[in-house]
Structure 1
Amino acid sequence: MAEYKLQYFNMMGRAEPARLIFAYAGVQYKDERIEKSQWPEIKPTTPHGKLPVLHVDGKQLAQSRVIERYLGKVFGLAGENEWETAKMEELQACVEDFLIEIQPWFKEQDNAKKVEIFKQLIESTIIPFITAFENILVTNGTGYFVGDKISYADLAIFHIFWFMNSKILPGALRKYPKLHEFVEKISAIDSIKQWINSRPKTEA
């Protein structure tokens, strides 16, 4: 069995989908959380000066989405064929686009400006994103986003909507029955539930 270590800051952020993959797969790893004060010293040791970094038997792999895909393949949570693999990558790209679009809201420190940015994002970005992913679940008809069983893409998407429903727009998913059902279903998986209940409590 390989030895795994996941390095990231003490937050959910871009490392949380990988942590959820480890939790679901039941694979042990070192969840190394870097404090901001440690970062200047650690940064030069990373492949591209960014986190997260996955260490596998001493080798390093960077970029959060690449890490998710790698773990998905290793733990049997990737596509059954090339088409499913491509669709999972497509959904990852959509999530990434969404995170880039809402980044100004996360970074803004002025509360008044933050509220104004959020009002704009609701109509231009957030509701279209939720609606699109609700429609994907309706179209696929299996309760999952690709194929008929859980994948690493489902866990990455779950985190976005769990965070949205818990932190950004509490209860908003009740208007989207398939997404609400999806988040409730993944949350109820024993290993995922245990991780959510035991993980360090952070705001983001």
Structure 2
Amino acid sequence: MSTYKLTYFDVRGRGEVIRLVFAQAQVEYEDVRILPAEWDSSKTDRSRFPMGCCPVMDLDGMTMMQSMVIARHLARKFGLAGNDEKEMTMIDMMSDLCTDMLNEMFELIFEKDAKRKEDMTTAFAKKSETYMSVFTGWLEKNGDDKGFLVGNTVTLADLALFNLLEQLSTKHADILTKNPPMQAFLDRVKVEPNVAAWLEKRPKGEMDI
């Protein structure tokens, strides 16, 4: 039996989509959360962090890097990556688009220059409407009655979008207010039994991101 150890910071960030995949698949893993003080002294350990960054996952002696590489590997292994080549491609595309928007949000959060942050905020608000429109269109095309982005069950794409929307809800709640289908999707996935079980026991985390 494979053993999994995920190492990431004590936040949701880029590691949460991986935790959601484990949760949906109901697969046990070691959830190692690094605090800032520990990270300063650990990030130069290339045996643990080959590129000096997180997340990393240890799987049967192999160290994996890059959040979506890890998430996709697990999704394929756990049956959350689609049933055929078309579905797999759609799920990859949707998951990567969620990651793109999430990364833009993080850049905005951590920007220190006030003027640049103001400009980025305006640009992010405008671009977010394009993102939301695309996500809504995919939901509608798959069938509103199904409630998923691809097929009839939860896939990595749904978990990636849920992760994005949940994080937006704490920093840019107005985006969801303006896009009711996205708020409805967030609310629906939140009560999926395995996701709900994870949210119930999930550590609060050091930061609300």
* 8 A Cα contact 1:17 1:156, kept in partner: yes
Residue number among 130, 148, 151 corresponding to 1:147 in the alignment = 151
Is 1:87–2:90 an aligned residue pair?
A: yes
- Unmatched 5+ residue regions in structure 1? none
Q: Does 1:161 align with 2:170?
A: no
Query: Which of residues 177, 181, 190 is equivalent to 1:178?
Result: 181
Q: TM-score, normalised by structure 2?
A: 0.87
Does the Cα contact within 8 Å between 1:143 and 1:178 map onto a contact in 2? no
Counterpart of 1:16 in structure 2 is 16
Give the CA deviation at 1:7: 0.3
SS at match of 2:54: coil
Residue 35 of structure 1: aligned partner? 35
- More helix by proportion, 1 or 2? 1
Deviations 1:59-105 (A, max 9, x none): 21111001111110111111101111111111122123323434431
- Kept in 1: contact 2:128–2:175 (CA 8 A): no
Runs of 4+ aligned residues of structure 1 deviating over 6 Å after TM superposition are none
The whole-number CA distance in structure 1 between the counterparts of 2:196 and 2:106 is: 28
Aligned pairs (5 A) from 1:16-165 = 16-43=16-43, 44-45=46-47, 46-109=49-112, 114-123=117-126, 125-141=127-143, 142-165=146-169
Q: Quick one: structure 1 residues 150 and 126, their matched pair in 2 at CA, closer, same or farther if it must change by over 3 Å? A: same
Aligned-pair distance for 1:144? 1.0
| Amino acid corresponding to residue 89 of structure 1 in structure 2 | D
Work out whether residues 102 and 164 of structure 2, in 8 Å CA contact, stay in contact via their aligned partners in 1. no
Secondary structure at the counterpart of residue 173 of structure 2: coil
Judging changes above 3 Å, is the alpha-carbon distance between structure 1 residues 172 and 105 closer, same or farther for their aligned structure 2 residues? closer
**CA distance in 2 between partners of 1:189 and 1:49 (Å):** 35
Q: Which moved more, 1:58-67 or 1:111-120?
A: 111-120
Output one character per residue of 1:22-79: Cα deviation in whole Å (capped at 9) or x when no partner.
1111111111011122224432222322211111123211110011111101111111
In the alignment of these two chains, the number of paired residues is: 202
- Give the Cα–Cα distance (whole angstroms) in 2 for the partners of residues 198 and 190 of structure 1: 13
- Kindly tell me: are residues 188 and 111 of structure 1, through their superposed partners in 2, closer, same or farther at Cα, counting changes over 3 Å? farther
C-alpha distance in 2 between matches for 1:26 and 1:82? 25
Shift of 1:157: 1.2
Whole-angstrom CA distance in 1 between matches of 2:37 and 2:54: 14
| Alpha-carbon displacement from aligned partner over 1:138-182 (angstroms, at most 9, x marks no partner) | 1111321112211012101110011112x1222642443332222
